[in-house]
Amino acid sequence: RALAEDIEHWLRGEPIVARPTPAVARAWKFVRRHSAIVGVTVLCVVLGLIGVTLNHFRQRTVEKLSAATAYDRTICILPVEDLNTMDTTSLLALEATRYCEQAVRGVSGLTLIAAPAAPDPLPRDRELIRLSQTLGSRFILMATVRRGERGTRLVVHAVDAARDITASPLVIETSMAFGDLDRLPLVTLIRSFCDPSARQPESAVQADQDAAEREAEKYVRAGDQLLRRGMPSAIDLAMESYRKALQLRAEEPGALAGMASAMSRRGILGQADTWLSRAQSAAERAARAAPHQATPERVLSQVFAMRGDSRVALEHGLTAFELDPGDPQTAAAIAGAHEVEGEFGQALIWIERAARRDLSPGAYSLHRGDYLAALGDYALAGRAYREFAEFRPELYDAPLALAALFLLEGNPSLALETIRSLRARFPEDPVVAQNHAALEFHAGDATVAEAILRGFTDDPNGGLTAYLGIRAASALGCLALRRHEDGHPWIEQALALDRLQLESDPDNDVLLYEMAANLAMLGRGREALGNLRAAVERGPSVCQMMRLDRRLETLRTQPEFVRLLEVGEERLKEMRDHIKQRTSAPKP
């Protein structure tokens, strides 16, 4: 019976008792017996898995499309910077930020997010798109605000990170509080810039340019490249390039601004008043042709700084920075205005901002060295000068500055060795010659100094040197007195030039110091100390020269002279401490 039952099981494809069937074999036999049911079941399972998978990918796609749409419809507001206090937490900055946020909320369809802090500087190109992706916002709104003589000035920039373009800046000048100010201009800017249907095709601007305009731009770029070399020989070549651009387009803003910049640099080499007047005229024409371009304002800032008008220079510099906060030269222009004012601490802060915006090796390290030296931080100043010399060895600027620094540090032999070596490399350069004479006068061979100085007695500026400032006539008069000769005519000539230049720049600390030195040599000690007091109050860095200037010998025993030295050095220490506090403060 058992055998019969096993045979029947085997005939039906079922497991038998005599030899147990493996699980796989039993399963296979089950499938053969019920092939239709198994087939339908497997098909249902496969279709179910396919459905689940497709639904998963569809959901992922919807999420990605939703995220992309949210990104394209999101705008991030960076904290507004108050340029008066150089931070984003002042009451004015917070009010301006709130005004911008309320304007964005007035644009339907946009999602607003606020960044906790603003990067300085704002990244460009690929870094800008990375920042926007980190923020989760395609559009970025950044602004600066400040209070001036004519009221409050807010300048807003809208950035499309995906296309790496920035809208023309919106400039709002008002005497009203931000809570009462109309938000419509900013709402209109945001709506037109962020609405895809309102955007102009990227090729439209280029298509509208004619051949002459494109050709003029080539000459402008060539002139800009020549100016960046920083060599005197390149200035005339740059001006010629800008002239060709202006022949093609008479009011080309870039060419006018470039020409103005070249002319201002040309004034350093002589005939300063003439060249600066021409530079101002060209820059003003450029500003009229392109009122929202930063370059003309920046050049005007440089021109007025060279003329000693720090107030106007600072106003133009801040305007340039508002229009293009990413341009390193605009921050450098503001630093130059503070330098003229004798505010070397502020100048150093702004030159650091310029350096952060310029990736060129050693960029602005020369200026940084000048400001550090003026603050009495000789170690850091020397490091900055050497950095500049390493990357720009073809220029004489860094060795010239180092020679003066060595003298201030109390190393006259190294100072003379440096300047004499430099003079051998640049025997015909007037700037090197003047500074060579100044160093020989203070610490070297008086005969060599006198021979050089006599070549600058007819200079309209009196041969006043860039470092260790001293006029040719003043030095010649001092050397004559030391030989027991009558040097008074030379000194009176220098004094007359001091008075003439102080009429147009009455707060110039260098000129006040020069006048004090000349008065001291003429035996007018009381007047000399008065001018020296004004010079120290205006620019405490002059106290560094007071220690080694042989023209002040008759004043050294005066208690007032000693007190002025102490006051000047204490103010320099306060400035250095202030800089350290700002640079060591944690970022928000």
pLDDT digits 0-9 by tens, 156-169: 999 888 888 888 89
User: How distant, in Å, are the alpha carbons of 291, 506, 509 from that of 542?
Assistant: 39, 16, 7
Average pLDDT value for residue range 226-245: 85
Q: What is the CA radius of gyration of the chain?
A: 36
Kindly tell me if the per-residue pLDDT of 584 is higher than 60. Answer: no
Residue carrying structure tokens 């298509």:
207
**CA–CA separation, 360 vs 391, rounded Å?**
9
Strand 165-166 and strand 151-160: the pairing is antiparallel
pLDDT digits 0-9 by tens, 173-190: 998 888 888 899 999 988
Residues 6+ apart with CB under 8 A from 542: 509, 510, 513, 532, 535, 536, 568
pLDDT digits 0-9 by tens, 516-555: 999 999 999 999 999 999 999 988 888 888 988 999 999 9
**CA–CA separation, 174 vs 82, rounded Å?**
15
Residue pair 84/147 in contact (Cβ under 8 Å)? The answer is yes
Q: Please, which pLDDT band fits residue 585 given cuts at 50, 70 and 90?
A: low
The per-residue pLDDT for 465 is 62
0.95 cut: is pTM over it?
Answer: no
CA angle 308, 314, 316 (to 5 degrees): 105
Determine the straight-line distance between the first and last CA of the chain, rounded to whole angstroms: 93
Residue pair 567/536 in contact (Cβ under 8 Å)? The answer is yes
Residues 6+ apart with CB under 8 A from 380: 369, 372
Burial of 349 (0-12, 13-18, 19+ CB in 10 A): buried
CA-closest candidate to residue 326, choices 127, 72, 117: 127
Burial of 494 (0-12, 13-18, 19+ CB in 10 A): buried
Residue 174: its H or E element: strand 170-174
Taking all residues of the chain, what is their mean pLDDT, rounded to a whole number?
85
**pLDDT, greater one: 17 or 377:** 377
**CA–CA separation, 492 vs 523, rounded Å?**
12
CB count in 10 Å sphere of residue 336:
24
Kindly tell me if the per-residue pLDDT of 197 is higher than 70. Answer: no
- Residue 273 backbone zone (phi > 0: left; psi -120 to 50: alpha; other: beta): alpha
CA-closest candidate to residue 538, choices 491, 503, 505: 505
Q: Please, which pLDDT band fits residue 580 given cuts at 50, 70 and 90?
A: confident
pLDDT digits 0-9 by tens, 286-308: 999 988 889 999 999 999 988 88
**CA–CA separation, 383 vs 283, rounded Å?**
35
Residues 6+ apart with CB under 8 A from 208: none
**CA–CA separation, 141 vs 77, rounded Å?**
5
**CA–CA separation, 413 vs 407, rounded Å?**
8
Average pLDDT value for residue range 328-346: 90
Kindly tell me if the per-residue pLDDT of 494 is higher than 80. Answer: yes
Structure token pair of residue 245: 């651009």
The per-residue pLDDT for 51 is 77
**CA–CA separation, 249 vs 153, rounded Å?**
33
What 3-state class would DSSP assign to 159? strand
* Lowest pLDDT segment from 36-45, 148-157, 337-346: 36-45
**pLDDT, greater one: 63 or 497:** 497
The per-residue pLDDT for 95 is 94
Structure token pair of residue 570: 């204490």
**CA–CA separation, 312 vs 301, rounded Å?**
7
**pLDDT, greater one: 232 or 573:** 573
The per-residue pLDDT for 206 is 46
The per-residue pLDDT for 122 is 76
Residue type, 460: P
The per-residue pLDDT for 213 is 79
User: How distant, in Å, are the alpha carbons of 197, 336, 342 from that of 506?
Assistant: 57, 18, 13
Q: Please, which pLDDT band fits residue 97 given cuts at 50, 70 and 90?
A: very high
What 3-state class would DSSP assign to 147? strand
241-253 exposure pattern, b = at least 16 Cβ within 10 A, e = fewer: bbebbbebbeebb
Residues 6+ apart with CB under 8 A from 586: none
Residues 6+ apart with CB under 8 A from 52: none
Residues 6+ apart with CB under 8 A from 68: none
Residues 6+ apart with CB under 8 A from 49: none
Kindly tell me if the per-residue pLDDT of 17 is higher than 80. Answer: no
User: Above pLDDT 70, what percent of the chain?
Assistant: 89
- Residue 130 backbone zone (phi > 0: left; psi -120 to 50: alpha; other: beta): alpha
Average pLDDT value for residue range 84-98: 92
Q: Please, which pLDDT band fits residue 268 given cuts at 50, 70 and 90?
A: confident
Residue pair 75/190 in contact (Cβ under 8 Å)? The answer is yes
Q: Which residues on adjacent β-strands are paired with residue 156?
A: 143, 170
Structure token pair of residue 280: 């101002």
Residue pair 141/104 in contact (Cβ under 8 Å)? The answer is yes
Average pLDDT value for residue range 115-125: 78
Kindly tell me if the per-residue pLDDT of 126 is higher than 70. Answer: no
Q: What are phi and psi of 154, to 5 degrees?
A: -115, 125
DSSP assignment, residue 231?
A: -
210-232 exposure pattern, b = at least 16 Cβ within 10 A, e = fewer: eeeeeebbebbebbbebbeeeeb
Average pLDDT value for residue range 266-272: 76
The length of the chain is: 588
What 3-state class would DSSP assign to 81? strand
Strand 170-174 and strand 151-160: the pairing is antiparallel
The per-residue pLDDT for 203 is 47
pLDDT digits 0-9 by tens, 457-489: 776 666 566 567 788 899 999 999 999 999 999
